[in-house]
């Protein structure tokens, strides 16, 4: 019986991942002044213990006005980076590569945490010590009636954001991360520039696709220039806006091809987020995007979106539709997804996917169960 493709190693740039299972960035809205806490260490650390090859820290603001909410993680100062370094160290010490997603929320920032309604911050929030901040976007178009109206960015704003991404990448490297992912999806700033639904600019950064790609590509080029050549650079995209006149998969393939030329190693293919219009959800619903980008742009891709079981994940990798599988909610429900995937695909759980302490503990448990069965 051949070994499952899902459990095979994957080498990208100078990094070899022990399998194809990646834990996707998942916002926890639980940081304090952008600083991660023990919550984040435990939340992320359990995925390394469960055998995932690469674990990403959530969307992390490159500047304060780039947060979604006051609870977002940040990497715009050294104190935040020092706290993140503890997480990177733990992940790597326990068998997983450490990744971090660098993000700017754009017009979708300055909002309450989701469990507080997710709407625009107001005077009531300010009285509690969480004041609103000015949001930025390529054009002054709010996401919805419950979101703040952003200010259209000028040349100085764009220069500041590029510097913020550059310095965030430097801090991420100093903090010990193996992978950086640039967030250009889900209706956040870089996706806003890419989408004609939001980008109504008449200067060099608007208009046709070449103009709309200009700013995101400048960010990619700047990050790649300071991110070590032997460390992979990922890029998350929203492959489709799901509405007429928005980003199409053809646009995304062209963007991915240009990003690859600047040094992007893996394109993480998500979708939606620039409008309240939801996609039609079904298992693996975004996999065709990963396949299209992989073939059309000639770049490695990561598939994500309701990949709920090992069998579907295996099919995606084995058939060449994507190179990596990213899990969010399935990983939350089962932090040991990789170990359980080995059991589902081979008939035997591979406890070697987990680090030695966990392996020893599981071995002792297995031995105890055997003794109980004989008693």
The residues assigned a catalytic role are 188
Query: Which residue's entry shows tokens 């051949």?
Result: 2
Range 143-165 burial, b when 16+ CB lie within 10 A, else e? beeebbebeebeeeebeebbebb
Tell me the CB-side half-sphere exposure of residue 344, using CA atoms within 13 A: 16
235 φ/ψ sector (left φ>0, alpha ψ -120 to 50, else beta) = beta
For 99: left if phi > 0, alpha if psi spans -120 to 50, otherwise beta; the answer is beta
């Amino acid at each position: 019986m051949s070994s499952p493709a899902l459990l095979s190693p994957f080498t990208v740039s100078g990094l070899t991942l022990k399998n194809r299972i990646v834990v996707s960035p998942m916002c926890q809205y639980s940081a304090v002044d952008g600083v991660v806490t023990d919550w984040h260490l435990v939340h992320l650390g359990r995925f390394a213990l469960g055998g995932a090859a690469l674990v990403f820290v959530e969307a992390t603001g490159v500047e304060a006005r780039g947060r979604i909410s006051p609870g977002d993680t940040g990497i715009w100062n050294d104190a935040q980076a020092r706290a993140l370094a503890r997480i990177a160290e733990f992940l790597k010490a326990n068998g997983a590569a450490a990744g971090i997603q660098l993000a700017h929320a754009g017009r979708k920032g300055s909002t309450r945490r989701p469990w507080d309604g997710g709407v625009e911050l107001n005077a009531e929030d300010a009285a509690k010590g969480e004041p609103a901040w000015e949001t930025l976007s390529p054009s002054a178009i709010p996401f919805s009636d419950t979101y703040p109206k952003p200010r259209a960015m000028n040349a100085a704003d764009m220069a500041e954001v590029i510097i913020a991404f550059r310095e965030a990448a430097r801090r991420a490297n100093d903090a010990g991360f193996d992978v950086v992912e640039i967030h250009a999806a889900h209706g956040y700033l870089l996706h806003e520039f890419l989408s004609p639904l939001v980008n109504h600019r008449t200067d060099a950064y608007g208009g046709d696709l070449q103009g709309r790609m200009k700013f995101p590509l400048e960010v990619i080029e700047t990050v790649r220039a300071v991110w070590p050549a032997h460390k992979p650079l990922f890029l998350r995209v929203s492959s489709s806006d799901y509405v007429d006149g928005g980003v199409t998969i053809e646009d995304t393939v062209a963007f991915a091809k240009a990003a690859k030329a600047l040094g992007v190693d893996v394109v993480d293919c998500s979708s939606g987020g620039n409008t309240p219009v939801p996609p039609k959800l079904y298992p693996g619903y975004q996999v065709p995007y990963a396949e299209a980008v992989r073939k059309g742009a000639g770049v490695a891709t990561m598939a994500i979106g309701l990949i709920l079981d090992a069998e579907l994940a295996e099919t995606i990798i084995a058939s060449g539709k994507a190179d990596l599988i990213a899990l969010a909610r399935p990983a939350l429900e089962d932090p040991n997804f990789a170990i359980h995937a080995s059991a589902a695909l081979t008939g035997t759980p591979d406890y070697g996917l987990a680090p030695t302490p966990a392996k020893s503990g599981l071995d002792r448990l297995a031995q105890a169960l055997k003794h109980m069965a004989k008693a």
